[in-house]
Amino acid sequence: MNNDFFKITPDDEPVTDGNSASVSDMGEDSDFKIGKPKNEPTPIATEPVIDSSSDLDDTRLSDDFVIGQDFFIDSTAADDIAPEEPAPVKKKKKKKQSAGKGCLFSVIWMAAILVISISAASIILYFGMDYLGVNLDADSAEENIQVEVSEGTSAKEIAEMLEEKGVIDSPLFFRFYASQGGYAPKFRDGIYYFSKQDSYEDIVDKLTKQGTQAESVKVTIPEGWTIDKIAARLEENKVCSADTFKKAVNEATYEKYPYDFMKGIKDESQGVHYRLEGYLFPDTYYFYQTNDKAGAEQAIKKMLDNFDKKILPSMRIRAENMGVSLHDIITMASIIEMESSVAKYEVKQQVSAVFWNRINEWGDDARLQSDPTTKYKYNPERYDTYKIVGLAPGAYCAPGIDAINAALYPDEESKDFFFVTDKNMKFYFNKTVNEHNQTIRDLKNKGLWVG
């Protein structure tokens, strides 16, 4: 600070221009007013008094105030002036930083709004196109996409099937539309044909107003039936042609029918004639009369789905504990089914024990010698149990649940290796071949021998 601007007179009052400089006495005016302590009026000097003989003691002055040329303060009065807190440089910097941060925040906020707006527009466009059935690649949009809606199928499952087939993109949005419009409870079962250009309105119209696009028919598949017989029955009921069904059977893969048991099924390269022989579960079904490949595939799916539900996890674990595959169990069950279809479960268990006893005890001579196996007309060198040792590469027919359980749980008390039946389907079990031959002689003598 330049001290030449200050001259102090010992006898005079300090020259002032305003009120006290105490922060507490400041008004809203931001300008600083330098003056005497508050509550003591100070006369205003019209002219500054200068005494060049006085020495200026600048150690008692505060650098907080910038004083103009025409203002002079007595140094003694300066002691009584409450010093104003300096306006730190940091404050000005802070204001500049706050301004910078505010600008940055505004930019970020605007960017966020822009991103949200673009995202919202994209979502609206996405759902709007899905709702209207707009396909950007309209030339390649697939027509007549078949979707089968079975009885008891939920709206959620229908939406997922439509997405899987490429008819819609958002199953969640479709479910919301169907629910809010009151369409979901009106959906009917059947086989439907859609296009990728169908709007939501088109889809719900087909699922509700048009109803089933193929008539359903009740078909019973008895236990012990072969694929040839099943194919013939499906053809009779206009589900599909027999040849189409047989072809679809051997085209069945895990990718097409993703059930765990499909991974263990043997195929033609391993000597199997019909890949799904034994796995098309015997039961009564309702199939659709499409009379085409779609009808064959929906029939296969229903029967495989039924098989998957009937074969419980505990049954699969049991097969593992026996040291055999589920495929072997089904093959054995098909033999038990052919040998004892009308017998009680306990008898089926005894028949099962005879065959397992042979496999486990006879080793390389374990020929099952089951007569029904000789009648299977495909690959006799691989299926005829009089010619082969152990089990054939695949099943001979569709076994029922009792035959499957009997294959899993043979009679543990049985030590028999032979059995025979009479004309009344009564079973006779023997441990040795001599006992077995004697039983046959007795039946012949009584006129009960089947042969």
Domain boundary among 164, 183, 213: 213
pLDDT of residue 189: 83
Determine whether 56 is exposed, middle or buried from the number of CB atoms within 10 Å of its CB (0-12, 13-18, 19+).
middle
Based on the fold, state whether residues 203 and 150 are members of the same structural domain: yes
Based on the fold, state whether residues 276 and 372 are members of the same structural domain: no
Q: Which of 17-21, 225-229, 262-266, 307-311 has the lowest mean pLDDT?
A: 17-21
Structural domains in the chain (count): 4
Based on the fold, state whether residues 403 and 315 are members of the same structural domain: yes
- C-alpha 283/C-alpha 223 separation (Å) is 8
Is the pLDDT at 6 greater than 60? The verdict is no
Which residues share a beta bridge with 148?
191
- C-alpha 67/C-alpha 95 separation (Å) is 26
Based on the fold, state whether residues 169 and 235 are members of the same structural domain: no
pLDDT of residue 129: 52
State pLDDT tens for residues 26-65.
344 443 333 444 444 444 444 444 444 444 444 444 444 3
Based on the fold, state whether residues 299 and 326 are members of the same structural domain: no
Alpha-carbon distances of 205 from 129, 188, 190, 311, rounded to whole Å: 18, 11, 14, 38
Based on the fold, state whether residues 208 and 283 are members of the same structural domain: no
Based on the fold, state whether residues 300 and 352 are members of the same structural domain: no
- C-alpha 409/C-alpha 393 separation (Å) is 21
147 belongs to a structural domain:
yes
445 belongs to a structural domain:
no
Provide the residue range defining the domain that includes 15: 1-87
Based on the fold, state whether residues 317 and 409 are members of the same structural domain: yes
Angle at 372 (CA atoms; ends 367, 376), nearest 5 degrees: 100
For tokens 């404050």, name the residue.
91
Q: What is the mean pLDDT of residues 349-357?
A: 98
State pLDDT tens for residues 281-304.
999 999 989 898 989 998 999 999
The packing angle between helices 326-340 and 401-408, to 10°, is 120
Which residues share a beta bridge with 218?
286
Is the pLDDT at 74 greater than 90? The verdict is no
Return the amino acid letter for 359.
Answer: I
DSSP structure class, residue 82: P
Domain boundary among 191, 213, 235: 213
The per-residue pLDDT of the chain, averaged, comes to 80
- C-alpha 332/C-alpha 408 separation (Å) is 9
DSSP structure class, residue 378: S
Based on the fold, state whether residues 246 and 204 are members of the same structural domain: no
Query: What radius of gyration, in Å, describes the C-alpha atoms of the chain?
Result: 49
260 belongs to a structural domain:
yes
Based on the fold, state whether residues 331 and 410 are members of the same structural domain: yes
Q: What is the mean pLDDT of residues 84-91?
A: 53
Question: pTM for the whole thing?
Answer: 0.64
Q: Are 32 and 66 in contact (CB under 8 A)?
A: no
Angle at 52 (CA atoms; ends 47, 53), nearest 5 degrees: 135
State pLDDT tens for residues 407-440.
999 999 999 999 999 999 999 999 999 999 999 9
Task: Return the half-sphere exposure (C-beta side, CA atoms, 13 A cut-off) of residue 199.
Answer: 6
120 belongs to a structural domain:
no
Based on the fold, state whether residues 81 and 144 are members of the same structural domain: no
Q: Is the dihedral of CA 443, 447, 448, 450 positive or negative?
A: positive
Q: Which of 11-20, 157-166, 320-329 has the lowest mean pLDDT?
A: 11-20
Instruction: Name the percent of the chain lying above pLDDT 70.
Output: 71
pLDDT, greater one: 296 or 6: 296
State pLDDT tens for residues 96-108.
455 566 677 777 7
Domain boundary among 306, 323, 345: 306
Strands 284-288 and 216-220: antiparallel
432 belongs to a structural domain:
no
Question: Which one, of 163, 223, 398, 189, lies nearest residue 298 by Cα?
Answer: 189
| pLDDT band, residue 123 (cuts 50/70/90) | low
Is the pLDDT at 347 greater than 80? The verdict is yes
Based on the fold, state whether residues 6 and 64 are members of the same structural domain: yes
pLDDT of residue 435: 97
| C-alpha 317: how far from chain center | 26
| Helix residue ranges per DSSP H, 341-446 | 345-362, 380-383, 401-408, 433-446
pLDDT of residue 36: 41
- C-alpha 97/C-alpha 83 separation (Å) is 28
Question: Which one, of 303, 410, 306, 404, lies nearest residue 356 by Cα?
Answer: 410
Q: Are 353 and 417 in contact (CB under 8 A)?
A: no
- C-alpha 114/C-alpha 438 separation (Å) is 95
92 belongs to a structural domain:
no
pLDDT of residue 119: 62
Instruction: Name the percent of the chain lying above pLDDT 90.
Output: 56
